[in-house]
Amino acid sequence: MRRSFIFVLAIVLALAGLALGIAKVRPAKESLNEHLAHSKAPAPPMSSAPEPGQERIVRFASNPQDAPAFKATDLDGRPISTTDWKGKVVLLNFWATWCPPCRAEIPMLIQLKDLYKDRIVVVGVSLDDDPADDVKKFAATNRFNYPVIMATRELIKEYGGVPALPTTFVINPDGKVVQKHIGLFRSYVYESEIRALLGLPVDATVETFEDTGQIFLKNADRATELPDVDFTGLSPEQRTAALKRMNSETCTCGCTLTLAQCRINDSGCPVSKKICAQIVAEISGKPARAPAADPDDAAQPSPSAPPAAGPARTGDSTPKTPDAAPAQAPKFE
């Protein structure tokens, strides 16, 4: 009896040791999943479905513009050029190592590149203030399978500014920017867009919107509506006059943007909101309504606020669903 007990105990201990051994040799690749576990808005696995009852919709700009051309050298010393992207879908991802949503979406970008291989290009644009070598170590540790370049002020300006991180520009095979996502989006959003742009079967409805500043702020002068700006009561001629002023006058919050651009870029800015209300009041001849007191409002707009969805409109590229998570304010200026 004693020998049987010892024999059974030995088997149990052996199995426990085997389990510990397996745990120790699990691939280091799971370090990325640890980022997901600690993120407030983790990216779901590939091919995840929308929420129950949620329609899958893909939106592309009906008036896409050419992706600003540039040449750079990635962290491994290899040349990166927009001229090499012809015929491929490109995800140009502005991110930083210190940004939790950025880290959370890394596994998704890696999986997309693995799945679609040479049919897509993924390029990370780091806004880190840390030395490039530190970013390179981060990329190596997390097994990036796509190149990373360091951001420059010129590149950020060419792409219309980066109000929050992550920000990803979606470029079609013809080299035109058809979408911009600010914040962390679910994997099926990008996968549906990629498949649609590659001409592959996709279980989604494809819609178009006019870019009136959602992608490039320079197109804000095409907008007929602005976030939290009430044009009610204005005649068509008065609305046109109000929008003209908002597209010609600079916001005094310090952003250096026009009032219209500021409303699109940072809908939480109390300065542009107040000035726009005053413009509407002056043109309509009615006194401006005082905005509701908000203890959270500061004298300066929050740089972390992504462009607001505002009232539902054809030109809105932001899903009205839990597909997107809050973005982080970029530290690079």
Read off the pLDDT of residues 8-63 as tens digits, 9 standing for 90 and up: 455 555 444 434 333 333 333 333 333 333 333 333 333 445 566 677 899 999 99
Given this model, what pLDDT does residue 234 score?
Answer: 93
Residue 121 CA, chain-centre distance (Å), reads 16
**Best CA proximity match to 234, nearest among 295, 188, 279:** 279
Whether 279 is covered by a domain: the verdict is yes
Q: 205 and 234 share a domain?
A: no
8 Å CB contact between 177 and 72: no
Longest dimension (CA), the chain: 100
Residue 154 domain-assigned (yes or no): yes
Out of 161, 178, 210, a domain closes at 210
Torsion-angle region of residue 153: left (phi > 0), alpha (psi -120 to 50) or beta? alpha
Which band of pLDDT confidence, cut at 50, 70 and 90, is reported for residue 316? very low
Q: How far apart are the first and last CA of the chain?
A: 76
308: left (phi > 0), else alpha (psi -120 to 50), else beta?
beta
Say yes or no: 95 and 140 in one domain: yes
If asked whether residues 177 and 294 sit together in one domain, one would say no
pLDDT tens per residue, range 223-267:
999 999 999 999 999 999 999 999 999 999 998 899 999 998 888
Residue 7 and residue 1: Cα distance in Å, rounded? 10
Choice between 216 and 137, residue whose per-residue pLDDT is larger: 137
Q: Which two tokens stand for residue 22?
A: 């397996």
Same domain for 81 and 164?
yes
Based on the domain organization, do 189 and 295 belong to the same domain?
Answer: no
Q: Are 262 and 269 in contact (CB under 8 A)?
A: yes
The confidence score (pLDDT) of residue 242 equals 94
Q: Residues 24-29: contacts with CB within 8 Å, 24+ apart?
A: 28/141, 28/143, 29/143
- Is 261 in the same domain as 293? yes
Q: How many CA atoms lie within 13 A of 320 on its CB side?
A: 9
Write down the pLDDT at residue 287. 72
Let me know if residue 50 belongs to a domain.
no
Same structural domain, 74 and 163? yes
Q: Would you state the structure tokens that stand for residue 80, as one six-digit string?
A: 């990166």
The β-bridge relationship of strands 184-185 and 324-325 is antiparallel
Number of residues that make up the chain: 333
Domain boundary among 210, 244, 277: 210
Give pLDDT tens digits for 169-211.
Answer: 999 999 999 999 999 999 999 999 999 999 999 999 999 999 9
Residue 274 lies in a domain: yes
pLDDT of residue 70: 96
The residues that bridge with 122 in the sheet, in sequence order, are: 91
Q: List the beta bridge partners of residue 158.
A: none
Secondary structure letter of residue 297 according to DSSP: -
Identify the H or E element spanning 34: helix 31-38
Q: Is residue 322 part of a domain?
A: no
Q: 90 lies in which domain range? A: 57-210
Closest CA to 263 of 217, 218, 226: 226
- Give the model's confidence band at 298: pLDDT under 50 very low, under 70 low, under 90 confident, else very high: very low
What does the pLDDT look like over 82-139, one tens digit per residue?
A: 999 999 999 999 999 999 999 999 999 999 999 999 999 999 999 999 999 999 999 9
Q: What pLDDT band is residue 79 in, cutting at 50, 70 and 90? A: very high
Name the domain count of the chain. Answer: 2
Judgement on whether residues 288 and 272 belong to the same structural domain of the protein? yes
Examine the fold and report which residue of 160, 189, 210 is the final residue of a domain before the chain moves on.
210
The answer on 174 and 256 residing in a single domain is no
**Distance of alpha carbon 23 from alpha carbon 35, whole angstroms:** 19
- CA-nearest of 223, 203, 205, 200 to 213 is 223
**Residue 137, Ramachandran bin (φ over 0: left; ψ between -120 and 50: alpha; else beta):** alpha
Write down the mean pLDDT value for the chain: 80
CATH at 71: 3.40.30.10
Give yes or no: residues 202 and 233 share one domain. no
Domain shared by 229 and 181, yes or no: no
Q: What is the DSSP letter of 296?
A: T
User: 0.85 cut: is pTM over it?
Assistant: no
Domain membership flag for residue 286 = yes
In a domain, 31, yes or no: no
Residue 155 is assigned to a structural domain of this protein? yes
Tokens standing for 222? 């095409």
Residues 200 and 259 in one domain: no
